[in-house]
Amino acid sequence: MPRDNPRARRLGDQIQRELTELLRRDVKDSRIGNVTITAVDVTGDLRTARVHYLVFGRDGPDARVQRGLESAAGFLRNALSRALMIRHTPTLSFELDTSIEHGVRLTQLIDAVSKDAVAKTEPGGDG
């Protein structure tokens, strides 16, 4: 994970910036649409990059967007190698970022527990 390797973290940040620009400016695949790159995790050996993305205006996975990103992976990798001028450009894999959905679910659970605790401490509650 990039958290242990500062070089992998820096490369992930650079890749995120470049991919954002490439998707906006150069990729013309209609399947991709409004994709936001939320994070890039580069392995410690700098050979593989897992690209996390969100699709604006969509809830949940969209197979068409995934196929579009996978189809553009070779083009994006080639463009990254030219832009970043590194010896070995990581292989790109794309996955939908579910961290926001996970955070919303945790917030809902915390709210439910808090409401239950307040109800038990109020007069006439179960506690």
15 and 73 in a single domain? The answer is yes
Number of domains in the chain: 2
What the block records as the tokens of 103 is 């955070």
CB burial of residue 8 (10 Å; 0-12, 13-18, 19+): buried
Q: Of 92 and 123, which is predicted with more confidence?
A: 92
Using the predicted structure, report yes or no on whether residue 127 has a pLDDT greater than 60: no
CATH number of 30's domain: 3.30.300.20
pLDDT of amino acid 2? 42
Q: Taking the complete model, does pTM exceed 0.95, yes or no?
A: no
Q: Token match 């961290």: residue?
A: 99
90 and 119 in a single domain? The answer is no
Q: Token match 């832009």: residue?
A: 83
In a domain, 1, yes or no: no
Using the predicted structure, report yes or no on whether residue 124 has a pLDDT greater than 80: no
46 and 68 in a single domain? The answer is yes
Q: What range defines the domain where residue 57 resides?
A: 6-96
59 and 111 in a single domain? The answer is no
pLDDT of amino acid 109? 82
Q: Are strands 35-42 and 91-96 parallel, antiparallel or unpaired?
A: unpaired
What percent of the chain shows pLDDT beyond 90? Answer: 48
pLDDT of amino acid 1? 42
Structure confidence by residue, pLDDT tens digits, 3-59:
578 999 999 999 999 999 999 998 888 888 888 899 999 999 999 999 999 887 666
31 and 69 in a single domain? The answer is yes
90 and 106 in a single domain? The answer is no
70 and 23 in a single domain? The answer is yes
Q: Residues with Cβ < 8 Å from 43, sequence gap 6 or more?
A: 8, 49, 90
What the block records as the tokens of 81 is 């190698």
51 and 84 in a single domain? The answer is yes
The average pLDDT across 62-85 equals 92
What average pLDDT is seen over the chain?
A: 85
